[in-house]
Amino acid sequence: MEKPADRLVNGEAVEVDVRYARLGSRALALTVDIAVQVLLGFFLLILVVALVPLVFGEFVDDALMRSIMIIVAVTVLIAYPTTIETLTNGRSIGKRLVGLRVVREDGGPIRVRHALTRTLVGVAVEWPGLIMPMLTWVVSLLTMTFSPRGRRLGDLAAGTFVIHERSASEWGWMPAMPPPLSRWAVTADLSAVDDDLALAARHFLARAKEIRRPWHDRFADGLAAEMIERIPQQPPPGTPPMHLLAAVLAERRRRASGQVLTTRALTERIWPGFGRLENFTRLEPVGSFDAEQTQPLP
């Protein structure tokens, strides 16, 4: 049984944060790929009908046509998907549109043997399914649903899985660094400030102007006091709670951004295309603070 993993450590010991593709996105990509294969099949059939009589003339018979139909079927169902996934590093047309990619278990790009194994298993027991199709379809769906990495039978046989490629997305409102606290924040130890506390502070700052007093001050003071308890270095005396919260969030974002960019550069070197820096949204600091809405910490 697979061990669940939220992160991937590739062959060069670089930890890569990935999102495993699940049933919904993979079904959408498969639908597109099936449509492409159907169009390819029709195109090849038209060529067969038009060219075979011209090439073979009076030698055309049922046996020849059956042989050609088998060749067309093998081309559409096996040769085409194997070739395109190999040449595109695991991105068929459907996967490219949905933003998916097939990779090896160690994070590297797939080769011919991986693509061929995935295709053969898929044709035999998944789609279209030549061996007990109804039963194998159910088994394949259950396997993908309960697999920690969303792997289908073809992935298990080939040693691969499918991931979401990152795309730019909006992060929404982010507080700016209050200038008086920038030097303090750089030297502050924020390791004890967990994600839950940071998220609560961010939500509060985003809605601060909508919250009436005295609730506004109670929320601000409570969050700021919890921040101070977890940070060994005390902020400058008289720091407004709102400014303290903004400084901690801005510094966490700055440090995380530096780590992300370093990881992306390493990932791009060993995994071309997945770690492109232009695929990631820059976190621009946005926001200001009204001094009248804040008050010094006690």
Would you state the pLDDT for residue 282? 43
Please indicate whether residue 29 or residue 200 has the higher confidence score (pLDDT): 29
Nearest to 238 by CA among 287, 291, 286: 291
How many Cβ atoms from other residues are within 10 Å of residue 208's Cβ? 19
The pLDDT score that the predictor gives to residue 166 is: 58
Rounded Cα distance between 112 and 97, Å, is 22
Q: How far apart are CA 18 and CA 7, in angstroms?
A: 6
Residue with tokens 């075979």: 52
The reported pLDDT for the residue numbered 168 is: 46
Strand-pairing partners, residue 162, are 102
* Whether the predicted pLDDT of 234 surpasses 70: yes
Structure tokens at 267: 């990932």
- Tokens 């559409």 -> residue: 76
pLDDT score of 256: 78
Residue 137, token pair as written in the block: 């379809």
DSSP secondary structure letter of residue 256: H
Residue 126: name the closest of 91, 77, 89 by CA: 77
Pick from 229, 175, 167: which is nearest to 199 by CA?
A: 175
pLDDT, one tens digit per residue, over 147-161 is: 888 899 999 999 998
Who has greater pLDDT, 251 or 266? 251
Pairing of strands 100-104, 160-164: antiparallel
User: Which pLDDT score, from 0 to 100, does residue 102 have?
Assistant: 92
Model pLDDT, residue 298: 41
Please give the distance of CA 203 from its chain centroid, rounded to a whole number: 25
Q: Give the phi and the psi of residue 8 in degrees, each rounded to 5.
A: -115, 130
pLDDT of residue 84: 95
H or E segment at 63? helix 62-74
Give the pLDDT confidence of 119-140 residue by residue, as tens digits: 999 898 887 777 877 888 888 8
* Per-residue model confidence (pLDDT) at position 281: 42
pTM: 0.55
Q: What is the DSSP track for the chain? A: -PPP-SEEE-TTS-EEE-EE--HHHHHHHHHHHHHHHHHHHHHHHHHHHHHHHHHHGGG--HHHHHHHHHHHHHIIIIIHHHHHHHHTTS--HHHHHHTEEEEETTSPBP-HHHHHHHHHHIIIIISS-SSSHHHHHHHHHHHHHH-TT---HHHHHHTEEEEEPP--------PPPPGGGHHHHHH---TT--HHHHHHHHHHHHTGGGSPTTHHHHHHHHHHHHHHHH-SSPPPTT--HHHHHHHHHHHHHHHHHHHHHHHHHHHHHHSTTTT-GGGS----------GGG-----
Q: Inform me whether the pLDDT recorded for 291 exceeds 50.
A: no
